[in-house]
Structure 1
Amino acid sequence: MPAQDAPPPPAELVALAQAFGVDARYPGPGGQAVGARTLVAVLGALGVAAGTPGEVREALERHRAEQQGRLLPPCVVVRQGRRTALDVPAAARLRVELEDGGSWELPCGHSHWLPADLPLGRHVLRAESGGRTAAAALIVAPQRLPRLPGRSWGFLAQLYSVLSDRSWGMGDLGDLAEMARWAGAGLGAGFVQINPLHQALPGTPSDPSPYRPSSRRFADPVHLRVEAVPEFAYLDGARREQAEELVRRAARLRAEVLGHDGLIDRDAVWALKREALELLHEVPRGPGCEAVYEAFRRREGEWLRRHALWSALAEVHGADWHHWPKGLRHPDGPQVGQAEKELAERVEFHRWLAWQVDRQLAGAQRAAREAGMPVGLVHDLAVGVHPDGADAWALQDVLAGGISVGAPPDAFNAHGQDWGLPPWRPDALAEAGYAPFAELLRATARHAGAVRIDHVMGLFRLWWVPQGHAPTEGAYVRYDAEAMLGVLALEAHRAGTAVIGEDLGTVEPGVREELAARGVLGTSVLWFERDWQAGGGILAPDRWRPGCLATLTTHDLPSTAARLSGEHVELRHRLGLLARPLAEEQAEAAGELADWRAELAALGLLRPGEPLSVPALYRFLRATPAELVGVWLPDLVGDPRPQNLPGTWDQYPNWRLPVADGTGAPVTLDRLAATPEARLLARLLAVPPGPRDRSPGAGDRSPGAGTPPPAAHTPPAG
């Protein structure tokens, strides 16, 4: 029975759900009720038994008693510059132990306030009252995230799709550095935004989606430029001959991909690179190099150990840790220590791979900044991880078991969505002082000028779908947004990175305003920016929000060339994805283009008789106050194909397409750099900057303006 047709849950169950941040209703006509079966399952994932009325009453009483008996909450997150009240007994003695070793004694009184001038950082708050003691993590965050150095434009690229004459069958970190040099020094671009480089789940065939990774914490070594590993220069004898043969095989693979209608074969690329990297790992390191490696190992600590250990165990037992021997299914399992000793060489190899990727990531960002880019690389953080992978194993104590993230039914998808990604447990995150979340942000921002957060609304709430339930039978679970944003602000401040939130789709009222007030940029796609409150007309460029990345498309949407030609409708028709007759869809698409042609002509961005074109649409984006303008790299050559077509799996080659021209012929980075369109767009976008967002929340619009609330968020897994 769909959730919206189920009988209303009992009042006590609703009260228990609300006590644990589980919404008993979700947006819909009149507000849809969440069924009792769903509430029981979601509460169970939070460690709360609620299967019977007696269990519900007992859980409510226990929760109330625990809340009243707590001397301190598990974690306190405050903003620097604000005095913050604490709900503790009047006679309690409070002390703050600073992360630098110092301490602050706070005076007793009828009310307790944390002072406004506490230093930024992760501290410990201690309390003593009536013989009881308690400690809590205390996070002091800046009011706002770092600002961008000014308006700029840059490329949006799926790195795997951007091959050069040197890459091994898919774009790599060497290509990324080269692209950044070309875009920055040659065109004056300010940034390059790329897809998530997270480590994929091993296995053949592997899942090519960058949005359902094994680990978000570590990047995938498939992105390595093998010849750029320093040890490559020191290969000799038989190892040198083996490596040269692998280079020749890689050239043949690259030629196959660059043939007409060629597809990227990630598994074939990794098979070659892995063999080469095994050879390079055997080359002795000099003392200086060894010292740098040891420093990396110390910095990464337990996170690196667990990741390398999981990778080694997966080679023996398969990628799904749920089916490993019972004693290995948890990082602290009784058989883990012995297995780590037996697999020491393989653990070390995977640890070394992580170091090599980190070095090349650092080199790519360094290349971008040396090329004059004020921002440099923009790394993408996926919304979650594969339930069978490394992070799900290492972090299972803070992830919700038996739960998947998704989206509720809406006007665009009546069946809802299940993305197959386990969510953070908000209670466990708080008990851990948000350290796992902070570490993930720290790692993502380390070699970035900005970070894009996929489905940024997940900092406020996520749609939880219990295992065995339809996506319609889920519930929203709320997170402490003040804490999540505070952790984000602190880590971004320390890394000096800006943050872009992917806030397309269904967004709860007030979320965009809160993100803007904290300095998180939004994402605005031209085709969605309409004045929905005033009939849905095109939103004038001067009414766009300044605090955004403005684009014509994304990896989940039709390319600009496809929209201009109508090919996106034809493609969905061929794959049976249209909900209406082809003629109706075509008429609507044609009408949309006519509206845009008229709008651009009225604004003087099109000359009389000039057709709607890619440059004309970028002229419109230039006319907005958006702080960042993103150019979809395939727009340079008129590639009509989307990189990902939501709603398909094997019907379409998602995440496997090299950048190609309008005929489908792949185009290398070397050829892209020579296109006249690149210099045309660079000249068009290199104009004096428009107005800046000068105050918190500036540019916020009325609720009816901008991206339409009902637009569905597409599944990250593709």
Structure 2
Amino acid sequence: MTEPRPDEPPGPHQPSGSPGSLGDELTRLAALHGVAASYSPSPGRTVTASATAVVAALAALDVDVSTPAAARAALTARERERDERLLPPTVVCWLGPTDDPADGPAGGGPAVEAGAGLPPAALAGLPPGTRLDVETERGETRSWVHGVDGTDRVDRLPPGVHRLTATAPDGRTGQAHLIAAPPRLPTPAGRSYGLLVQLYSLLSHRSWGMGDLGDLAELSSWAGRALGAGFVQVNPLHAAVPGPPADPSPYRPSSRRFPDPVHLRVEAVPEFAYAEDRVRLRPLLERAGRLRAAVLDAGALIDRDAVWELKREALELVRRVPLGPGRRAAYADFLAEQGRALEDHATWYALAEVHGSDWSRWPEGLRDPRSAETARARAALADRVDFHSWLAWLTDAQLTDAQRTAREAGMGIGIVHDLAVGVHPGGADAWAQRDHFAAGMSVGAPPDAFNARGQDWGLPPWRPDRLAASGYAPFRRLLRALFRYAGALRIDHVMGLFRLWWIPRGLPPTEGTYVRYDAEAMLAVLVLEASRAGAVVIGEDLGTVEPGVRETLDRRGVLGTSVLWFERDWEGSGRPLPPERWRADCLATATTHDLPSTAARLTGEHVELRHRLGLLTRPLEEERAEAAADVGEWLALLAELGLLRGTDDGASSEEAGIQAVHRFLLRTPARMIGLWLPDTVGDRRPQNLPGTWDQYPNWRLPVADAEGRPVTLEDLAASPRLHALTDVLRTDARAAPGDTG
């Protein structure tokens, strides 16, 4: 995650309070709403949450605690509601022989025909004789009587989100969404390695100043056919908040549900070949060539705004070409399938063209997507709404084509897409789903050993109560949209399925608190949608992780993320963790987009970069010595294992070190091995340097060689250094863990 822009406007001041001032009633009320009154930043240490944050979080959940009397009334009402309801808003049912996820199948698909047991906790408050009826997604009905039939099982309940109704003997009724999901995702077949790349950074001689979906398809086809790769992982391709200047971070999008048309390969749109206004198209193509040359030949940064301006102008001309009958029918099907969500998305972008890209500053009537004013504006802007709907259709089609190309190239997984942890507060999703977001709150991270001030990511959190009441509909729709064209999904900060650090807007991250989500329900939705798509799920579980989270994810078949430099025996010697002690169910890598490249790590360039930018908190020599010691320990282990080989083949010692690092990853039992594409050519520069905004060109650098010269996709395909490294992975990736050498 990246920090928000320093000029982000502060929110309203929150109710006063201070750490340690929480009373018993407020603590109990907070617990009933999933708001933490304390947290443990490290084992054996407990910190009382800020009263300001607790009060603000409760207020964002529509709980009035403005006075002691109001807090007491809210507590009484919440306890009464809990005691009197027959069912919670959402109930989870894991399909399989038992309710215990540990008893689920460890490998292949779940035994969904064996019946489904409803969790005892959900039925604990039901009086004997309560009638339970399940209306499935298919419209079928299953019925039984609680405590009379002798079992609370529903034979042959299909996977899905169903409707559960309870009718007590005294006539009281209750309803709940019933999420019936397989007990776990299947383990990925075999073992594979793949490439990790920020798509915008990978330019070809055909792209318009930044990498596009044509480049992604080309990379996937080449990597699958020529390199034996099983997947390509990319950054989030979510729709961005329009600029200029656009926020270059792919982790703070306007919408996570719909992709960004800036990634389109314009020439690949079928209607492009029939565009008649060549007089206007020709200069756009020439400008695109100059924009590409500026990045590749003149050292310019990737200019997303300039790229989109060119593509928008070209696409406006292409849109004048009438769709053929088949294409028109396909577009109509897409509109019908996406429904109101796409209409809202396109309406926001049409309104943003008129009123700016922060809906909180629009005329008051337009801030509500369901208002009469918005309906009138949508009708008046119908052509622009259709334009943005058409763009979403085109982008969806090219993403689908890229995944199909990857699978046809022999990739077992294909494209691994990335799901950002949240959205921009002024963007399309926050507007269209405003009732599901907590007003006045921002997501971040508490202070820890790595950042004493904590972090504020500037993202509004989902409300757990509204998610539960809707049967997690926004989350279900989001996942279903992404799995349309994903062979796997990486979930950024996967710990957010369990809890998130809420910060009252305008206050520092230290004045936050954790708010808990129903992880059982979130995981059930995730497993349900991924299993329907036949997709793999990878959780980014780096950093501080709450006890039990990794174990729970593992039981559900969600892979973790292991980065070499962080894998040490933290509970023992502190030395690098031997390969046989790594976990198997993970994506193992040498680095990520937020970390130094392997070349920078081995040469110490990452320390020099932070020194040049004035980011070091200790003397330079001390930082150099610590970094060298860290690398030295790893190199010693690599040599001990016989992985650090000589340079008789002409490879530099740095190249030999990078190859050794990846031989080590192959020694681990990890099911997926990720190769950071810039590592194949010795790139020294990180794509993102956390803690910076304008000091460093985050998210705007092309892939480059060791001297900083941009490297195109065509250059990569011909690179001896790349082939030497991928030969290591290609030769050994299919071997059993521990057998490589």
1:72 correspondence with 2:112: no
1:131 correspondence with 2:171: yes
Instruction: Tell me the residue number matched to 1:412.
Output: 450
Equivalent-residue separation in structure 2 for 1:11 and 1:553 (angstroms): 46
1:482 correspondence with 2:526: no
Instruction: Tell me the residue number matched to 1:158.
Output: 198
Listed as ranges, the gaps of 5+ residues in structure 2 are: 1-13, 100-116, 648-652
Instruction: Tell me the residue number matched to 2:55.
Output: 40
1:120 correspondence with 2:120: no
Instruction: Tell me the residue number matched to 1:685.
Output: 729
Shift in Å, 1:112: 6.8
- Structure-to-structure mapping, 1:350-389, within 5 angstroms: 350-389=388-427
Distance 1:453 1:116, change over 3 A: farther
Shift in Å, 1:49: 0.8
Instruction: Tell me the residue number matched to 1:711.
Output: none
Shift in Å, 1:248: 1.1
1:615 correspondence with 2:654: no
Amino acid at match of 2:154: P
Distance 1:424 1:121, change over 3 A: same
Instruction: Tell me the residue number matched to 1:633.
Output: 677
Shift in Å, 1:572: 0.4
Q: Is the 8 A contact 2:53 2:502 kept in 1?
A: no
Shift in Å, 1:4: 12
Shift in Å, 1:148: 1.2
- Structure-to-structure mapping, 1:123-272, within 5 angstroms: 123-129=162-168, 130-236=170-276, 239-272=277-310
Listed as ranges, the gaps of 5+ residues in structure 1 are: 694-718
Equivalent-residue separation in structure 2 for 1:165 and 1:671 (angstroms): 10
The one-character-per-residue Cα deviations of 1:522-544 (angstroms, maximum 9, x if unpaired) are 10000000001112111000111
1:321 correspondence with 2:359: yes
Which shifted more, 570-579 or 678-687?
678-687
1:16 correspondence with 2:29: yes
The one-character-per-residue Cα deviations of 1:317-353 (angstroms, maximum 9, x if unpaired) are 1111011111110111231111111000000000000
Structure 1 segments (4+ residues) deviating >6 Å = 608-611
Distance 1:273 1:459, change over 3 A: same
Distance 1:688 1:402, change over 3 A: closer
Shift in Å, 1:107: 2.4
Shift in Å, 1:146: 3.2
Distance 1:246 1:688, change over 3 A: closer
Equivalent-residue separation in structure 2 for 1:690 and 1:534 (angstroms): 30
Equivalent-residue separation in structure 2 for 1:220 and 1:75 (angstroms): 33
1:62 correspondence with 2:62: no
Identity %: 62
Equivalent-residue separation in structure 1 for 2:321 and 2:728 (angstroms): 49
Equivalent-residue separation in structure 1 for 2:468 and 2:417 (angstroms): 26
Shift in Å, 1:581: 0.5
- Structure-to-structure mapping, 1:666-681, within 5 angstroms: 666-681=710-725
Distance 1:117 1:653, change over 3 A: same
Equivalent-residue separation in structure 2 for 1:39 and 1:23 (angstroms): 7
Equivalent-residue separation in structure 2 for 1:105 and 1:125 (angstroms): 10
Equivalent-residue separation in structure 1 for 2:140 and 2:236 (angstroms): 39
Q: Is the 8 A contact 1:260 1:665 kept in 2?
A: no
Equivalent-residue separation in structure 1 for 2:337 and 2:182 (angstroms): 24
Shift in Å, 1:26: 1.4
RMSD: 1.7
Shift in Å, 1:692: 7.9
Which shifted more, 226-235 or 66-75?
66-75
Distance 1:44 1:145, change over 3 A: same
Instruction: Tell me the residue number matched to 1:706.
Output: none
Indicate the SS of the match to 2:531.
Answer: helix
Q: Is the 8 A contact 2:142 2:154 kept in 1?
A: no
Shift in Å, 1:688: 5.7
Shift in Å, 1:240: 2.0
Q: Is the 8 A contact 2:666 2:737 kept in 1?
A: no
Indicate the SS of the match to 1:397.
Answer: helix
Equivalent-residue separation in structure 2 for 1:26 and 1:5 (angstroms): 15
Q: Is the 8 A contact 1:195 1:380 kept in 2?
A: yes
Shift in Å, 1:403: 0.5
Which shifted more, 20-29 or 350-359?
20-29
Shift in Å, 1:608: 6.8
Amino acid at match of 2:235: N
Equivalent-residue separation in structure 1 for 2:372 and 2:464 (angstroms): 28
Instruction: Tell me the residue number matched to 1:591.
Output: 629
Equivalent-residue separation in structure 2 for 1:98 and 1:674 (angstroms): 55
**Number of paired residues?**
690
Q: Is the 8 A contact 1:90 1:112 kept in 2?
A: no
Q: Is the 8 A contact 1:640 1:662 kept in 2?
A: yes
Shift in Å, 1:91: 2.9
Instruction: Tell me the residue number matched to 1:285.
Output: 323
Shift in Å, 1:286: 0.8
Shift in Å, 1:90: 2.0
Shift in Å, 1:425: 0.6
**TM-score, normalised with respect to structure 1:** 0.94
**TM-score, normalised with respect to structure 2:** 0.91
Which shifted more, 130-139 or 523-532?
130-139
Q: Is the 8 A contact 2:162 2:179 kept in 1?
A: yes
Q: Is the 8 A contact 1:627 1:692 kept in 2?
A: no
Q: Select the residue among 701, 716, 720 that pairs with 1:657.
A: 701
Instruction: Tell me the residue number matched to 1:704.
Output: none
Shift in Å, 1:53: 1.2
Amino acid at match of 1:149: A
- Structure-to-structure mapping, 1:370-449, within 5 angstroms: 370-449=408-487
Distance 1:31 1:678, change over 3 A: same
The one-character-per-residue Cα deviations of 1:362-392 (angstroms, maximum 9, x if unpaired) are 0100110111111100000000000000000
Equivalent-residue separation in structure 1 for 2:146 and 2:86 (angstroms): 14
- Structure-to-structure mapping, 1:596-607, within 5 angstroms: 596-607=634-645
Instruction: Tell me the residue number matched to 2:113.
Output: none
The one-character-per-residue Cα deviations of 1:477-518 (angstroms, maximum 9, x if unpaired) are 111111010000000001110000000000001111111111
Amino acid at match of 1:502: E
- Structure-to-structure mapping, 1:551-562, within 5 angstroms: 551-562=589-600
Shift in Å, 1:113: 2.0
Indicate the SS of the match to 1:380.
Answer: strand
Instruction: Tell me the residue number matched to 1:343.
Output: 381
Indicate the SS of the match to 1:571.
Answer: helix
Equivalent-residue separation in structure 1 for 2:294 and 2:536 (angstroms): 39
Instruction: Tell me the residue number matched to 1:460.
Output: 498
Amino acid at match of 2:635: R
Amino acid at match of 1:73: P
Indicate the SS of the match to 1:378.
Answer: strand
Equivalent-residue separation in structure 2 for 1:584 and 1:414 (angstroms): 20
Amino acid at match of 1:204: P
Equivalent-residue separation in structure 1 for 2:610 and 2:61 (angstroms): 40
